[in-house]
Amino acid sequence: MIITIALVLFYLLTPILLIYLVHVSKTINKIGAVVMAYIIGLVIGNIGLFPRASAAFKAILEGKQFLPQNEVLNYLAESKITQGDIVLNQIGSVQDTIMSIAIPLALPLLLFSLDIKRWLKLAKEAFLSLILGVSSLIIVVVAGYFLFKDHIPESWKVAGMLCGVYTGGTPNLAAIGTALDVSPNIFVLTHTYDLVLGSICLVFLLTIAQNVFNLILPHFNESHEKIKLKSIVAESEGVDNYLGMLTKKGIMQLSKALGLSILILGLSYSISLLVPKSSQTTVIILSITTFGLILGTIKSISSIDKTFQLGMYFIIVFSLVVSSMADFRSMFQIDFLHLFMYVALTVFGSMIVHVFLSYLFKVDSDTTIITISALTFSPPFIPVVAAALKNKEIIITGITSGILGYAFGNYLGVGLAYFLKGF
């Protein structure tokens, strides 16, 4: 019981500390709370604080995270497992429970703030570039799957996650990883490679991409229709601002939002009971995404302040838990070179295909760059990239592409994964 309480407090309170540090430390702010959660989780999970499973217990688990308490006690009574295995099983149970709750609670909260009807109205200019960007991603992910499927464990799941992370970032990656029941080691490695290669990609987009693409693509047309951007920019720049959440008004409003999120989870779980057990988690995630988008069209819900930030808190919790479950010794027994190559192909290959399609459809260089940025990263990066391009007009295209990609990435990632599973 003491272990359970200690673990729950660690997993729920550490993200609050990280959020605080993001606000008071410029260095940690640049790193980000999600990355810090991964670092802390990997350290905690690999320095010997958690007991190691005995060979017998590993064989009994057969890939499961934990077993029912009465079952492991029977194994202990028969001297088939050790006392350390009992503690490890308890830890696994806590980790699995928190992971199972964190993403389903996070998704509606993240989606409430999108106001999808508004973004669809603003999508006219961005729509062609968005279609080209998503098409490029699908082409490369599918090609990479057939190239590496025999060398990467759970390759069809990795393909789905790559579709998710490059349409909606970490939240979609986490949601699809949960929906497809991806192993912690594969999940952490995929996200780690995404962070490393994504950083290289971002430096390219912020520096020489405009000059390079201008050699191939039309230049941005200065006569593009101008749109009032102040409120849009403010929204995109404020998603990392958690201040004000713990005021009396903030707590009351966010309690309502969290209550709706719990209600959506309950309803989605009920719907999942109508399908075979093997598909239930996927149905839950997609149902939650759908209900979150629908409720986000209701003004009284979409106007609740800080729902996105509360959702990101649960994403940080998930990141901390899943990284603490990753075993370095097992991780690097995976053919990680092929996984690294698959992520690299997705990041840079999709960019190359996107530029080629933009050339065919005569989409200008700035619009192409901002769409790549929106899909590869997330809306908060759009003003930064736009500033590097010296083009404020392009912000609305980027944010719209990012929002729409984020909203529909879960459907795309899960759908593509199950499609590829058949090959």
Name the DSSP class of 243: T
Helix axes 365-376, 184-206, angle to 10 degrees: 150
Weakly modelled stretches of the chain, pLDDT under 50 = 222-230, 233
| 388-422 burial: b if 16+ Cβ within 10 Å, else e | bbebebbbbbbbbbbbbbbbbbbbbbbebbbebee
Residue 144: strand, helix, or coil: helix
Model pTM above 0.85: no
Q: How would DSSP label each residue in 299-333?
A: HHHHTSTTHHHHHHHHHHHHHHHHHHT--HHHHTT
Domain range annotation of the chain: 100-224+316-421
Q: What is the pLDDT of residue 330?
A: 63
Phi, psi of 170 (to 5 degrees): -60, -40
Q: What's the CA gap between 344 and 17, in Å, rounded?
A: 33
State the Cα–Cα distance between residues 149 and 157, nearest whole angstrom. 10
Show the tokens assigned to 358.
Answer: 């933009």
SS3 247: coil
Q: Which of 396, 350, 348, 346 is nearest to 132 (CA)?
A: 350
pLDDT for the residue 9: 94
Q: Are 114 and 293 in contact (CB under 8 A)?
A: yes
pLDDT attached to residue 149: 92
pLDDT score, position 228: 47
- pLDDT at residue number 226: 46
Sign of CA dihedral 320, 322, 323, 325: positive
Contacts of 354 (CB under 8 A, 6+ apart): 132, 133, 136, 368, 371, 372
How far is the C-alpha of 285 from the C-alpha of 289, rounded, in Å?
6
**DSSP assignment letter at 349:** I
- Please tell me what DSSP assigns to residue 38: H
Provide the pLDDT for residue 78. Answer: 82
Cα end-to-end distance, the chain, whole Å: 46
Alpha carbon distance 159, 408 (integer Å): 16
Read off the pLDDT of residues 380-391 as tens digits, 9 standing for 90 and up.
677 678 878 887
The answer to whether the CB of 339 falls within 8 A of the CB of 193 is yes
Instruction: For the beta carbon of residue 143, count every other beta carbon within 10 angstroms.
Output: 14
pLDDT value at residue 145: 97
What are the CA-CA distances from residue 95 to residues 45, 178, 382 (Å)? 12, 13, 34
CA–CA dist 367, 87 (Å, integer): 54
| Number of neighbours of residue 329 by Cβ within 10 angstroms | 9
